[in-house]
Amino acid sequence: MIPTAWRQQLQSWFLRFAAGGWLPARWFAAPPPPPAARAAREGPLTLEIVSHCWNYSHFLAYQLSSLVQFPPERLAVTMTVFHAPEDTRTQALLAYFADQHVPGVTWNWRELPREQLFRRGIGRNLAAQQTDADWIWFTDCDVMFRAGCLDALARALQGRRDALLFPREERITPLLAEDDPMLVRGAEPRLVDIDDSQFAVKTLKRATGPMQITHGDVARACGYCPTLRLYQTPADHFCKAYEDRAFRWLLGTGGNGIDVPGVYRIRHVFKGRYREDRASSRLRGAIRRAKSWLGERLAGHRRP
């Protein structure tokens, strides 16, 4: 009998192969509702933003602070954070922000057993199927929504029926070390802000894991990879989110770009949420730094 870990690794390789476009998505899930069946809502809209946090409270502090410091005026936001009780720093941070009353923002903390939190597709699927929002933004806790971001998004969403959208640009930091002052400032429960001079503009060609803005009718109908069993299976460590690519494959689109200013993302070398030994962690960090160095030179990032 094949051990569970090996079986899941084989399933992961197969699903990554399939989601690369080598197999038809309709073999695995029904298509999303056609555009005519999706509401083209105008006027005041509702948006649910969905994050996961495990040992990343020093990033989440910036995300939640951005909603306090730049509250939306043109749409109502529900900020959903999936977390686990063992992550006491995140618990303390969420308790602090629960007392921050922000016009247009509703805090929605959703506790999961950590084995379910560790497979991000589980929480995203719950949020997708249960949301009552017009649109849902699947993101990561190192993303910030700064000045003008959410109100520009509200304008861009008027009357649209797209299954999936993404911001054409994001502003990103270099790869930051764990002792970088920006990360240290976010270590305690409090409001924090950034020095945006550290950020450079990056152009996006398609939706990515933290930049997936999905029509609410599509999210409710399709969920987040619910028919791909591996991506709904609890795990004993935080898994890499290969389901994001599968989600786009099942929707049949890489998304359509829209102009949304004020999207910022903190990049960092050490992936603290993953289970790794020190040697492999150092190796992954070196690879990320090398890829970042090469990417910046090939892509020609420009300063805002």
Mean pLDDT, contiguous 10-residue spans, the chain (304 residues): 83 95 96 97 97 96 98 97 97 98 97 98 98 98 97 98 98 91 89 91 97 98 98 95 97 98 91 48 45 49 42
User: N- to C-terminal Cα distance for the chain?
Assistant: 56
Bridge partners of residue 52, in order along the sequence: 82
Please count the other Cβ atoms lying within 10 Å of the Cβ belonging to residue 300.
Answer: 9
pTM: 0.90
By C-alpha distance, which of 224, 303, 212 is closest to 260? 212
Reading the block at residue 259, the tokens are: 């102009």
How many angstroms separate the CA atoms of 27 and 19, rounded? Answer: 11
Q: State the Cα torsion 182-185-191-194 to the nearest 10°.
A: -20
> What pLDDT, on a 0 to 100 scale, did the predictor assign at position 293?
47
CA distances from 10 to 3, 4, 7, 17, 240 (A): 11, 10, 5, 11, 15
pLDDT at position 280: 41
Tell me, what's the pLDDT at 289?
43
